């Protein structure tokens, strides 16, 4: 798809909007300046929130539809004060609502291993402060992590 906002339909699901970058990637999650609070409820993460012109999350249900319709890659770009890092995964897929949108696959990574952190999140269920699905942890990682995520064992702490 070209850069911009597009209306797409996957299978028999209701159509929805997605935003694409100038280099053809569908943007599913963007945090830039902290103007949007990502400490949201389970339902807000399921539905999606924010604004395509600013910070947003596309929503778990839409992400499930997208990643299960056909094979998708995931490109992660993180910008720090001192520079940026990127990593790419060749088979990104999440489960449905019955699996609590488990991160089923990321495939092989390429790029900067410095930020290759999703390898620890595979097979983890999505958690928010009001829906803790991280059964391996003794606490709710989303309460401490300022947002929903596929938190690994011990909330990612080593």
pTM of the predicted protein model: 0.91
pLDDT of residue 122: 92
Burial class (CB in 10 A: 0-12, 13-18, 19+), 41: middle
More confident residue, 84 or 91: 91
11: left (phi over 0), alpha (psi -120 to 50) or beta: left
Lowest mean per-residue pLDDT among 53-57, 140-144, 147-151:
140-144
The whole domain housing 49 covers: 4-156
Sheet holding 49-50, edge to edge: 29-30, 56-57, 49-50
Quote the number of domains for the chain.
1
41: which 2 tokens? 């409820």
CATH classification at residue 139: 3.90.215.10
pLDDT band at residue 158 under the 50/70/90 scheme = very low
- Asked if 17 and 6 count as a contact pair (C-beta separation under 8 A), the reply is yes
CA distance 101 to 124: 9
């Amino acid at each position: 798809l070209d850069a911009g906002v597009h209306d797409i339909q996957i299978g028999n699901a209701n159509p929805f909007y997605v935003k694409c970058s100038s280099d053809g990637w569908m943007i599913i999650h963007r945090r830039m300046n902290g103007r949007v609070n990502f400490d949201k409820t389970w339902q807000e993460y399921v539905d999606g929130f924010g604004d395509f012109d600013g910070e947003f999350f596309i929503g778990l249900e839409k992400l499930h539809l997208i990643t299960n319709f056909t094979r998708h890659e995931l490109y992660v770009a993180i910008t720090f004060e001192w520079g940026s890092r990127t990593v790419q995964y060749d088979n990104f897929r999440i489960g449905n609502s019955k699996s609590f949108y488990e991160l089923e696959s990321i495939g092989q990574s390429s790029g900067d291993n410095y930020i290759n952190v999703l390898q620890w999140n595979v097979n983890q269920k999505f958690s928010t402060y009001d829906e803790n699905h991280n059964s391996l942890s003794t606490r709710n990682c989303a309460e401490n992590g300022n947002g929903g995520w596929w938190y690994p064992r011990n909330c990612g702490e080593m």
